[in-house]
């Protein structure tokens, strides 16, 4: 006879750094462990930084960079139900986020949103009318976490495709906040809802925000359906940085790719970072990995991350206004041979600094060591 299962398998997808920093993620995982066996994952860049700061690597798997919907799909086959742990600005944005993840993941098993910002649990429809099983799971999860159960969202209301035009909305913006696409700031919010439209990957309309043309130039094409869209800082909470030593032997190039900083920095003893905000965000990651950076900046900081850590031994090179992109391109060709990785065998950080200074040439303004 086949042995009967004694406990549920529970998949948990943790979204964002705030839910980790406030302690809710750890408490929720501990309480959910009373219901069954918990497998928790987190795939975002600053969320993984938060997990390291909290010393939670043994409870939350941060080995993969992936969207929440992809995490749901990956966990679902081995889980009886999946829970999204989130910390949204408002209940509206929380429910819209949950609905969007449900629409993208198309779950076949119960999917539930637990939002500690709003203090509620909400069942998420499984591609049709809400099932009784999902409602029962939401009740169980609500009791376990001490949260009220809210009504399910009707729709994400965040995406629409008509012909060649893809439209996407960002809800819950605060006027004055940065609007970013995949870590690149493209404007500042003027209203609480920002609308973007793209044709064949090119942004053609932005409503509800003052556009930063130079930011849009940095992302000539983008898949609006899968892009990471944000307003405000990428980490609103604050924790004391914690370092885990993972230095390697290579130099990595992180050129306006802050969202990929973890992957780019793996196995690197040092990284060359291009762009003010990329340098700031990559610094947060590299500080946890114990690797210094050589940053190329021009003073055009949008402050996607207001509190940043700079790894010890880092050097930030300031170039003439508006030239960090060009200097970065020359660094890729002349230092990295057109790629994004080189061996540092027989070289030290100062050797790399000298290479970047030579590439900067007459655009070099100043240099600061940390």
pLDDT digits (tens, 9 = 90+) for 45-92: 889 999 999 999 999 999 999 999 999 999 999 999 999 999 998 888
Which residues are CB-neighbours of 350 under 8 A, at least 6 positions away? none
Q: What is the pTM of this model?
A: 0.83
Nearest CA to 197 out of 227, 176, 173 is that of 227
Question: Residue 205's beta-bridge partner residues?
Answer: 197
Q: Rounded distance, CA 114 to CA 68, Å? A: 14
| Residues 139/133, Cβ–Cβ less than 8 Å | no
The answer as to CATH 3.40.50.11220 being correct for domain 8-149 is yes
Above 50 in pLDDT, residue 7?
yes
Q: Rounded distance, CA 128 to CA 223, Å? A: 26
Nearest CA to 145 out of 238, 19, 317 is that of 19
Domain with CATH 3.40.50.11220 in the chain: 8-149
Q: What pLDDT score was predicted for residue 155? A: 64
Residues 149-175: pLDDT tens digits? Answer: 998 887 656 778 888 899 998 888 889
**Strand bridging mode 159-162 / 268-274:** unpaired
Nearest CA to 40 out of 80, 72, 8, 69 is that of 72
**Strand bridging mode 268-274 / 293-297:** parallel
């Amino acid at each position: 006879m086949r042995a009967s299962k004694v406990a549920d398998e529970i998949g948990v997808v943790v979204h964002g750094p705030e839910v980790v920093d406030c302690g809710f993620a750890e408490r929720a995982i501990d309480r959910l462990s009373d219901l069954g066996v918990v497998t928790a994952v987190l795939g975002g860049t600053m969320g993984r930084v938060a997990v390291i700061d909290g010393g939670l690597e043994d409870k939350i798997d941060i080995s993969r960079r992936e969207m929440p919907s992809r995490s749901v799909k990956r966990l679902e086959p081995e889980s009886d139900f999946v829970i999204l742990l989130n910390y949204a600005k408002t209940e509206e944005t929380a429910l819209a986020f949950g609905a969007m993840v449900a629409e993208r993941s198309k779950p076949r098993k119960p999917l539930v949103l637990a939002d500690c910002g709003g203090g509620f649990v909400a069942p998420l429809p499984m591609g049709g009318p809400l099932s009784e099983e999902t409602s029962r799971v939401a009740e169980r999860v609500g009791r376990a976490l001490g949260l009220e159960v809210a009504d399910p969202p009707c729709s994400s209301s965040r995406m629409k495709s008509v012909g060649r035009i893809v439209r996407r909305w960002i809800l819950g913006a605060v006027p004055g906040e940065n609007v970013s696409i995949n870590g690149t700031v493209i404007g500042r919010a003027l209203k609480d809802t920002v609308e973007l439209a793209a044709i064949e990957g090119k942004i053609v309309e932005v409503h509800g925000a003052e556009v930063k043309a130079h930011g849009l130039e940095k992302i000539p094409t983008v898949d609006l359906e899968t892009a990471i869209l944000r307003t405000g800082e990428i980490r609103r909470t604050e924790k004391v940085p914690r370092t885990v030593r993972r230095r390697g032997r290579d130099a990595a190039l992180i050129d306006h790719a802050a969202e990929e900083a973890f992957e780019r920095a793996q196995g690197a003893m040092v990284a060359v970072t291009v762009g003010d905000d990329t340098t700031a965000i990559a610094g947060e990651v590299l500080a946890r990995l114990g690797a210094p950076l050589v940053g190329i900046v021009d003073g055009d900081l949008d402050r996607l991350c207001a509190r940043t850590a700079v790894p010890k031994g880092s050097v930030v090179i300031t170039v003439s206004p508006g030239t960090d992109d060009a200097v970065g391109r020359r660094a890729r060709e002349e230092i990295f041979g057109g790629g994004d990785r080189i061996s540092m065998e027989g070289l030290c950080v100062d050797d790399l600094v000298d290479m970047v200074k030579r590439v900067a040439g007459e655009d070099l303004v100043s240099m600061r060591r940390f």
